[in-house]
Structure 1
Amino acid sequence: MDPRLLEQYNQELQFIREMGAEFSERYPKIAGGLGLRNTECDDPYVERLLESFAFLTARIQIKLNAEYPHFTQHLLEMVYPHYLGPTPSMTVVEFQPDLKGGVTEEGFLLKKQTELRSTSTLKGRANCEYRTAHDLMLWPIQLTAVDYLSQGEAVHYAGTSLQGVKAGIRFRLETVVELEFKQLAMDRLSLYLKGSGGLPMQVYELLLGHSLAVVVQPSGKAPEWREILDGDSVQPVGFDDQQALLPYGPRSFQGYRFLQEYFALPQRYMFVELQNLLPAVQRSTDTQLEFVILLAQAKTDLEDRLNVTNFSLNCTPAINLFPKRSDRVHLTHRTTEHQLVIDRTRPRDYEVFSITELEGYGSRSNAEQKFRPFYALQHEHHTHSDHAYYTLRRQPVLQPINTGATGSHYHGSEVYIALVDASEAPYPSDLKQLGADTLCTNRDLPQLMVTGQGNTDFTLKIGAPVDSVRCLCKPTDPKPAYPEGEHAWRLISHLSLNYLSLINDDTNEGAGALRELLRLYGDFSEAPIRKQIDGLLTVNSEQVVRRIPGDGPMAFGRGLEITLTFDELAFEGSGAFLLGAVLDRFFSKYVSINSFIQTVVTTQGRGEIMRWPVRTGTRTLM
């Protein structure tokens, strides 16, 4: 029941009594026949009738008041469709390949969207289903050692051709089953950074902010050869559109995805990828190979702390979001809305994230009518016979779904569908049922998963040379969709906050606008997120002229240099570098063709910590 009903009921009842008093004064004879006198009613039957009428009009009043939130919700469907659904649970998983001959020298590709099914579940409940976010190539290799190198050791690898080396990190890889590295067509190697405290963030900043070169050589004191790759061979992972965790469509701005995924699971960005390795790997006739990343900055406190346990191969983020066909919805003319239930035998175990296709069925088994979202583009391209649409309403569940059995406090939402024509009038048809292809989640079941026990946390649906799949971080709790009442102000905030409002001459005003944008995607009720957002102190922008990167003749252009200043005390255990990296990519998505952006991050304690390279725009000018 809607908690607003009691308040509206009292208001309607008070209104009826006050109007009854006025009516009795003006028309006492008629009012006497109704039993109305002042604000009192002597006839208990009339009093019950008035209360029933107040109850009915209270529901109507709530429905009328809900029209504006419905309008803003539908407007969000048009301009920010990514913003309406719940945020699913996310995690990072590690695949342990079968190194006893299961993975050959050709490797094995685990494609993005590989299905993972949890092994632990409550009795009678569904297994949690996750999907991977990255393509992952399994090789018959293992990481055997990682060392932090002091300046003297690192310079030994650099030789005389490279200046400014202050430190290095050495990785030693080894093949299995006596394979030589030259038998592997390995051009890329992804590493996941892990550990306690702020160590992973420190290493992330070193590798992606201060890499000078990557030295590849056989393991040993006197290597026969050495390949030196430039520092750009070390790249971040997770910013490419093909590596998205959340499904952002073409109408959604990809920069918002960076923010939403960062606040949902910062660890999804804790990957670095070594690229352009194939020429060096093909030279190796050994079973051991060293990769040494030379650094322009040292962190001496890592000497005794950094080791092989802080890195993992064969890792990828995963999300509790998967396609599933819903149970049929039986249509009736007695209601204009129909609840969409994924599985009637387990209605508590699934929550609709989005609808990808909706079909109507008549007396025949084949689908007779396809329905399109009403608040979508290109309606004019459909013929008159295709004017079949649906609207979606998401209603929050007022009480936790599974609180009694599991102790979960997640509320979630239910989805209701209304079939309409091109005028948003009820769709006239003789259809009997609806069927929907959806993206859905397991509601609050990821909160109840037990990881780290048994032989594996997940099983694969496909056949693959994998011994086990483990969670490297606790699956995050799902976040419910925003209630209807919040749609209006969040829509206004989104429409008012744009590139120009974030970047202006007033450093405090620009920082305030950017903080407001971050609040739209970060859960402000969580203290660490609130501290990080408040830790953004100033945003300063300046028009500059820089050389435009790219092939061809040397060219210069005008663009913006954006300087972000953070209070690093607000990032205890993490650091401002990662949020700065996310905002750098966020700004770059705004830039139009023939312009560029360059992001600089400074902190109160350390000054300038990173100046990212110039990023040219790809947005088309109108």
Structure 2
Amino acid sequence: MINRMLKHFEDELASIRSGLEGFRKRFRREAEHINLNDKGQEDPNVTRLVDSFAWVSAKNAIQIDSLRTRHIEEFAQIVSPNLFRTLPTVVKAHFKPNPDDFNKPVFLDKKVEVEIDVINKGDENTQVTLCNSLPITFSPVEISSFKLEQTPFEHAIPENLDTKHALYCLRVALDPISLEVDMKQVLSQPLQLHFSNESIGRNVADIINHALLDVAITIDNQDQSVSLGRENFKPLVIDNDFIVSPIAKHEIPIYFKLKEYFSIPEKRHFFIVRNPYDIAVEPGQRVYLDFYLNELGSALVEEKKLEVKINKTLFSNLFHQTSEPIRVNYQELSYPVIADASQSHIQVYSIDRVFRIGNEGATEIPPILGKEATDFNQQLYWSQTTKLGRGRNIKALSGQEVKHLIFPLNKSSDTLQNGFTAYSEITCFDAFLANKVHVGNQIIVNTEEALAGEFTVGGVAIQPNLVSTDEQNYWNMLKLLSFNMSQLLTVENAKESLKGFLRLFINTNATHHELNVIYDVTAKKINSPFLLEGRMVFVPGMKIEITLDNSELNADYSLFIELLNDFFLAQTAFDRCCQLMVSYTSFNWPTKVFDAQLGERVCS
């Protein structure tokens, strides 16, 4: 239905373009005929007229194209408004608690905005507003040591540990920062760990995720080790709660997880450990986290720069505020939304809500694209468009994107003949953040939480910011929405078809090894049994067999295939099933077979 509608729209635009082009060619022929009658001498008035018409024709062509873009842009606002927006700039930060004042775990929720004073040597402190991107519990502990051990182990091990396959143990020692720290309370909260290495290629975090058999907690000087289970160790890159990008409730999380997997590699290093048990431990006592690995853990033996850290997080440059008031006089086609009249480097990331100021106070104006029906003849509503800024007159850097509001001319404009004043609740970002925050900066967070300590900046990951909105993004969205799992059965080259859709989530100018290692893709029809409402039912579906080329060891294989499994489930209809099986070309790596699951897509 959508494709037919767009095809009809394209045909209409093509006919308009054809008419304009034919008129322009005929006009130029007439002009050349006039010049020839004048003995070949050009008439400057005719030349100026021809050039003027060429300019008008080009402007009309731009307006026609903008109609098409606007049509698809508003469609994108309905389906997934945040998917193709530029990712936020990410600031990596490491919290070092003060042992005198910090003795209990403190939770910093996602989207909590923090006022930061950046301490620059020799310069005045710079104030920056950032937003916490990862919900994290800061713990009053530090990692005093970590060591990779090989079997036989000289410490206590869990009773149910598979000693035949557990050949390695990465032992991480957690020490309280003071004797007053209640370690039992610390272990009852999630522990967010950061694994990293300096070698080029595969991340050590992916090696651990691939080789992990079990996670255990061992109390110092005790002969008992408590198994937490493999399921209580989870990478943040596959967790819906740790998506950095703004995301609406109706948007599909796996799309954003894939996008951030490719564009924010730092997220791949983070893991969260949850302890579901009540473990007896004395205040101030050392605790070990034991990560038991199979034969694939041998890759860690050669890692010389392995690091394990705690209390690391990511901040983004997004924050919320109220825009400058807008005076709507119905004499303009659109009205620029200005974040801050005094700071031209503060730009608008998204318009969240719009309000009209009247005698009765502020009244919210509904968007044109909403769940409730809109009376387009009577009701006041708003839409938005994106334009390029032109200098200081709209408080934006020239060439940067500026959000504009569009209001209707209907019966509502008759009741508000003199116009009205409006303002917006907006999400903003600091375009100059990279010039303010640098590696090694000390930052002070002024929050309501008792974060007694200091943050150290570990780096700033700048995301590519397009000068203008790429029209291709909207066509990519239509391709993504039209992707059907059955295509992998019918296309001649299923591998290229899959890689083509995965490329919709990445910057086309970047190289991503995960796409290059896809060696083969095969899809087969299956019927799998499911227990539904007490009855065994065989559900038709698809089994996807993927072979990855691991000969170069240059990709994060285990994290990538977990995201692929989520992607296939999101693309599978709810009344169908899907199963993923992944094999490798080299080193006799074991085949990974995911359980067959029912799809998540509510419509086919």
Cα shift readout 1:79-128 (whole Å, capped 9, x = no counterpart): 23223432221243222222223233xx2221212224454599999854
How big is the shift at 1:170? Answer: 1.0
Tell me if 1:351 matches 2:362.
Answer: no
Aligned to 1:512: 496
CA distance in structure 2 between the partners assigned to 1:154 and 1:198 by the alignment: 33
Rounded to whole Å, the distance in 2 between the matches of 1:321 and 1:438 is 10
Q: How many Å apart are 1:267 and its aligned residue? A: 1.9
Determine the C-alpha separation between the residues in 2 that align with 1:589 and 1:244: 16
1:394 aligned to which of 377, 386, 398: 386
Q: Which amino acid aligns with 1:147?
A: K
Shift of 1:54: 4.3
Q: What residue is the counterpart of 2:586 in the other structure?
A: 605
For the residues of structure 2 that align with 1:607 and 1:20, how far apart are their CA atoms? 75
User: What is the distance in 2 between the residues matched to 1:225 and 1:141?
Assistant: 21
In structure 1, how many angstroms separate the alpha carbons of the residues matched to 2:72 and 2:526? Answer: 39
Q: In 1, distance between residues paired with 2:418 and 2:529?
A: 65
Deviations for 1:118-172, whole angstroms, at most 9, x for unmatched residues?
5459999985432112322222222111111112227963568634222111111
Whole-angstrom distance in 1 between the partners of 2:256 and 2:361: 38
DSSP-derived class of the 1:395 partner: strand
Alignment of 1:62-73 (within 5 A): 62-73=62-73
2:76 corresponding residue in structure 1 = 76
Q: Distance in 1 between matches of 2:578 and 2:154?
A: 33
SS of 2:568's equivalent?
helix
Q: What amino acid sits opposite 2:240 in the alignment? A: D
Indicate whether 1:190 and 2:177 are aligned: no
2: CA distance between counterparts of 1:171 and 1:259?
30
Letter in 2 for 1:466: A
Tell me which residue corresponds to 2:516. Answer: 534
Task: State the match for 1:295 in structure 2.
Answer: 293
Name the CA shift for 1:76/1:17 in 2 (closer, same or farther; >3 Å): same
Q: What is the DSSP-based 3-state SS (H/G/I as helix, E as strand, rest coil) of the residue aligned with 1:83?
A: coil
- What percentage of residue pairs aligned between the two structures are identical? 14
- Paired residue type of 2:285: T
Q: Deviations over 1:411-452 (max 9, x none)?
A: 541122211268999996433322111112223x23324423
Quote the offset at 1:342 in angstroms: 1.0
Q: Please, what TM-score do these two structures have when normalized by structure 1?
A: 0.80
CA contact (8 A) 2:440 2:456 kept: no
Confirm or deny: 8 A CA contact 1:21 1:39 kept in the other structure: no
Q: Is the 8 A contact 1:340 1:414 kept in 2?
A: yes
Deviations 1:189-211 (A, max 9, x none): 221112212587234333x3333
Shift of residue 256, structure 1, vs aligned partner: 0.8
Name the stretch that deviates more: 84-93 or 36-45: 36-45
After TM superposition, give the deviation of residue 594 of structure 1 in Å. Answer: 6.1
Contact persistence 1:420–1:427 (CA under 8 A): no
Q: Where do 1:243-254 residues align within 5 Å? A: 243-254=242-253
Contact 1:505/1:541, CA 8 A, preserved across alignment:
no
Q: How far apart, CA to CA, are the structure 2 residues paired with 1:326 and 1:156?
A: 60
Do structure 1's residue 375 and structure 2's residue 362 form an aligned pair? no
Secondary structure of 2:169's aligned partner: strand
Aligned partners of 1:48 and 1:471: how far apart in 2? 59
Q: 1:543 to 1:145 in 2, by over 3 A?
A: farther
RMSD of equivalent CA atoms: 4.1
Whole-Å separation in 1 of the counterparts to 2:535 and 2:392: 62
Specify the alignment match of 1:4 in structure 2: none
Q: Which residue identity does 1:379 align to in structure 2? A: A
**Which of 331, 335, 338 is the equivalent residue of 1:341?**
338
The aligned residue for residue 407 of structure 2 is 419
- 2:361 aligned with 1:366: yes
Moved more, 419-428 or 211-220: 419-428
Distance 1:611 1:91 in 2: 34
Residue 354 of structure 2 contacts residue 425 of structure 2 at CA under 8 Å; is this kept in 1?
yes
Relative to structure 1, the CA distance from residue 301 to residue 82 in structure 2 (aligned partners, 3 Å threshold; closer, same or farther) is closer
Aligned to 2:15: none
Query: What CA distance in whole angstroms lies between the structure 2 residues aligned with 1:233 and 1:245?
Result: 22
With normalisation by structure 2, the TM-score equals 0.82
Consecutive unaligned residues of structure 2, counting only runs of 5 or more, are 1-19
Give the drift of 1:276: 2.5
Give yes or no for the alignment of 1:231 onto 2:230: yes
Partner residue in 2 for 1:447? 434
Cα distance change, pair 297–201 in 1 and its aligned pair in 2 (3 A): same
Aligned residues: 578
Shift of 1:257: 0.8
SS at match of 1:152: coil
Which residue of 2 is the match for residue 19 of structure 1? 30
Out of 539, 544, 560, the residue aligned to residue 562 of structure 1 is 544
Q: Is the 8 A contact 2:24 2:57 kept in 1?
A: no
What SS is found at the alignment partner of 2:278?
helix
Counterparts of 1:98 and 1:510, CA distance in 2:
55
338 and 540 in structure 1: CA distance in 2 versus 1, 3 angstrom threshold: same
In 2, distance between residues paired with 1:135 and 1:400? Answer: 38
Paired AA for residue 266 in structure 1: P
In structure 2, the CA distance between the partners of 1:499 and 1:570, relative to structure 1 (3 Å rule), is farther
Where in structure 2 are the equivalents of 1:39-438 lying within 5 Å?
44-45=44-45, 47-104=47-104, 107-117=105-115, 119-120=117-118, 127-153=127-153, 157=157, 162-163=162-163, 164-178=165-179, 179-182=181-184, 184=186, 186-198=188-200, 201-206=203-208, 208-220=209-221, 223-280=222-279, 282-284=280-282, 287-303=285-301, 305=303, 310-347=307-344, 349-361=345-357, 364=359, 366-367=361-362, 369-380=363-374, 387-396=379-388, 412-420=400-408, 429-438=417-426
Q: Distance in 1 between matches of 2:58 and 2:177?
A: 72
SS for the counterpart of 2:203 is helix
User: CA separation of 1:215/1:534 partners in 2, compared to 1, >3 Å: closer, same or farther?
Assistant: closer
- CA drift at 1:236: 2.2
SS across alignment from 2:172: strand
Closer, same or farther: CA 176–15 of 1 in aligned 2, 3 Å? same
**C-alpha displacement at 1:492, in angstroms?**
4.2
Distance in 1 separating the partners of 2:212 and 2:41: 84
Query: Any idea what SS the aligned residue of 1:273 has?
Result: strand
- Measured at CA, do residues 40 and 62 of structure 1 come closer, stay the same or move farther in structure 2, by a change above 3 Å? farther
Paired residue secondary structure (2:152): helix
Q: Corresponding residue for 1:464?
A: 450
Letter in 2 for 1:563: E
Q: By how many angstroms is 1:565 displaced?
A: 2.4
State the shift of 1:384 in Å.
7.4
Q: Distance in 2 between matches of 1:129 and 1:453?
A: 18
Deviation at 1:293, TM superposition (A): 1.8
Cα deviation for residue 288 of structure 1 reads 0.8
Checking the alignment, whether the CA contact within 8 Å between 2:156 and 2:224 is kept in structure 1 is no
Once the two structures are TM-superposed, the CA of residue 601 in structure 1 deviates from its matched residue by 3.0
Q: Contact 1:119/1:457 (CA < 8 Å) preserved in 2? A: yes
